[in-house]
């Protein structure tokens, strides 16, 4: 898990699905390049160079407003969010790793791998459907708007590395768990 949350100049996360994050090294680099300001630090995690000791930034904010893309990235994670982690053939809920991308019009018949032809299916339903074209998903696949994905993802539990993120990410605190990143001593040699 990356250590640093990145906010846009308006203090909203640069991206929500997934959350915009950086490794601490990337964050420190941007601080030195004067592209971001640090607004929160880890209180118990420091990095050292021969001349400087600094806390690892937990939240940084971009100095300039970044116009964010208003389209949803086509990937399995966002497909699962769109389909509520539900197999679109049997209606059961699954974890991401147990869901597969099912082509409504099979690829062998020219079906594309895109928002309007891919529905999430469990392994069993995917195998059962195979190349058939007479079996339709419960809901025909569609291209979701960013707002739909963002509001759905904010209703799912999230693990973050630092409690300082909570005021900025817009999740209900009851859905947030904090898991401190493992602090490897070797990192301190940077
Ligand atoms: Zn199924």
Q: What is the pLDDT of residues 1-43, one digit of tens each?
A: 899 999 999 999 998 888 999 999 999 999 999 999 999 999 9
Q: For residue 89, report the distance from its CA to the centre of ligand 1, in Å.
A: 5
pTM: 0.80
Tens-digit pLDDT profile for residues 73-115: 999 999 999 999 999 999 999 999 999 999 999 999 999 999 9
Question: Distance from the CA of 2 to the center of ligand 1, in angstroms?
Answer: 33
Centroid of ligand 1 to alpha carbon of 20 (angstroms)? 32
Mark the residues whose beta carbon lies below 5 A from ion ligand 1: 87, 89-90, 122, 125
Each as own residue / partner, the long-range contacts of residues 116-120 (CB below 8 Å, 24 or more positions apart, any chain) are 116/140, 116/141, 116/142, 116/143, 117/141, 118/79, 119/83, 119/88, 119/89, 120/79, 120/80, 120/83, 120/85, 120/86, 120/87, 120/88
């Amino acid at each position: 898990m990356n250590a640093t949350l990145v906010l846009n100049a308006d203090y909203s996360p640069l991206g929500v699905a997934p959350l915009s994050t950086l490794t601490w090294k990337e964050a420190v680099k941007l601080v030195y390049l004067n592209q971001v300001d640090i607004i929160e630090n880890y209180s118990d995690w420091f990095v050292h160079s021969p001349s400087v000791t600094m806390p690892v930034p937990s939240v940084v904010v971009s100095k300039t407003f970044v116009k964010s893309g208003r389209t949803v990235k086509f990937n399995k994670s966002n497909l699962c969010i769109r389909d509520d982690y539900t197999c679109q053939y049997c209606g059961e809920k699954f974890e991401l790793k147990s869901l597969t991308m099912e082509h409504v019009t099979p690829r062998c018949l020219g079906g594309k791998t895109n928002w309007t032809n891919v529905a999430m299916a469990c392994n069993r339903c995917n195998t059962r459907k195979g190349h058939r074209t007479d079996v339709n998903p419960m809901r025909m696949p569609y291209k979701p708007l960013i707002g739909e994905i963002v509001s759905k993802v904010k209703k799912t539990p999230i693990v973050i590395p630092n409690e300082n993120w909570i005021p900025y990410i817009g999740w209900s605190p009851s859905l947030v768990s904090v898991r401190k990143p493992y602090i490897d001593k070797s990192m301190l040699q940077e």
